[in-house]
Amino acid sequence: MITIHEAKTKNELTQFIKFPFSLYKNNAYWVPPIIADELETFDKTKNPAFENAEAYFYTAQKNNQIVGRIAAIINWDEVNGQQKKKVRFGWFDVIDDLEVTQKLLEKVYELGKKNNLDYVEGPMGFSNLDKVGVLTEGFKEIGTMITWYNFPYYATHFEQLGFVMEKEYLENKFPFVNVKLEFFDKAQELIKRRYQLKALNFKKTANVLPYVDKMFDLFNASYASLSSFVAITDIQKDYFKKKYISFINPEYIKFVEDAAGNLVAFAIVMPSFSKALQKANGKLFPFGFLHLINARKNSKDVTFYLIGVHPDYQNKGVHAIIFKEYHTTFTEKGIQNCIRTPELADNHAIHLLWKNFNPTIHCRRKTFRKNL
């Protein structure tokens, strides 16, 4: 018999978080989160996403063992502001048992129907800066700290339960420094002169912080036209600034500004923490943080997390300025591979940015939808 339990207490949420640790035990490709960070993400008093969203966390149990989990989420900014009558689900993991998946999803249906919503979509988090999509290709590729890993049967379960694909995301990999500098070096000099732009590079995190609010404003402007986009609020800006900026090498953050000091483009790259997180196995102490520090300093692979260009400067080649700066930084540090975070398959503009790098699609993922 399968029973569904809502995780409310710290202990229950910890068990919710730990379930994938047993499901993917000894899996070479799954990258575990830091348990304390996940607990903070689910803490209504700490995560500002709860200012405009509500979420409920459920585990499925069979024979007194957890066999699945799911989060049911409503982003009220999305529902009320964009008129997308959608209930989300995320943090979904399950054994290969269709009945368990069905029972978990029924809790999401209940939340959607209770609030007169039209459809369910997932897997996805609270916002655009959360993980998204179920893996459909690339099961033998190591994950990243900003993606979910899953077994192939996940997508099969959704399809068997009447879900259809809503969005597809692509993940690319390429050796950044192998591209010929001539592809963007001369262009970026011309663009800087034509539009009176300059690149900003940093050696210290303290020098980055004054620009972070502007960066999030630019992020909102850059991605506003995407169908899946929900803007980052001021409260969320402060939260992400405190939680993540100090975690990123300052030399991996690049800005471009105009003559008036307005930010017109930005990019964030992170060292690959995948293997370090596997060694940490969910814990920072006693030794987990040492693995992360070592990766921050010495990883030869990087994850290209975000890139954004103000709408007024899109299609003007401004990205060439950013690529030139990264080429210099990555050459100095001996970076070997760049891994792109999931990008919408129909976001053709972003795919064109990478054409000279000959990227290889190594993973695909999808969100699935079902009408209520």
Domains detected in the chain: 2-170 (3.40.630.30), 176-335 (3.40.630.30)
Q: 119, 369 in Cβ contact below 8 A?
A: yes
* 94, two tokens: 């399950």
Q: Which band of pLDDT confidence, cut at 50, 70 and 90, is reported for residue 181?
A: confident
What is residue 231's predicted lDDT score, i.e. its pLDDT? 79
**Higher-scoring residue by pLDDT: 181, 141:** 141
pLDDT digits (tens, 9 = 90+) for 15-45: 999 999 999 999 999 999 999 999 999 999 9
Cα–Cα distance measured from residue 265 to residue 217, given in angstroms and rounded to the nearest whole number: 11
Report the pLDDT averaged over residues 269-274.
94
Which of the four pLDDT bands, split at 50, 70 and 90, describes residue 227?
low
**Residue 301 and residue 272 in contact, taking contact as beta carbons nearer than 8 Å:** yes
pLDDT at position 246, please? 77
Predicted local confidence at residue 129, as pLDDT: 78
Residue 360 has a CB neighbour count (10 Å cut-off) of 10
Helical residues (DSSP H) of 30-132, grouped into ranges: 35-41, 76, 98-114
Residue-wise pLDDT tens digits, 109-122: 999 999 999 999 99
Is pLDDT at 162 greater than 70 in this prediction? yes
- Average pLDDT in the 323-328 region? 92
How far is Cα 107 from Cα 50, in angstroms, rounded to an integer?
Answer: 19
- Residues contacting residue 12 through CB under 8 Å, at least 6 positions apart: 5, 6, 57, 59
Residue 243 has pLDDT above 80, yes or no: no
What does the pLDDT look like over 28-87, one tens digit per residue? Answer: 999 999 999 999 999 999 999 999 999 999 999 999 999 999 999 999 999 998 899 999
Higher pLDDT, 348 or 323: 323
Q: Give the pLDDT score at 241.
A: 80
DSSP SS3 for 287 = coil
Report pLDDT for 175: 87
Q: What is the pLDDT of residue 357?
A: 84
**pLDDT band for position 156 (50/70/90)?**
very high
What pLDDT, on the 0 to 100 scale, is given for residue 228?
64
The pTM for the full model equals: 0.93
CA distances from 202 to 66, 181, 304 (A): 46, 22, 17
Q: Across residues 184-213, what is the average pLDDT? A: 92
DSSP 116: T
What is the percentage of the chain residues whose pLDDT exceeds 90? 76
Mean pLDDT on 355-362: 88
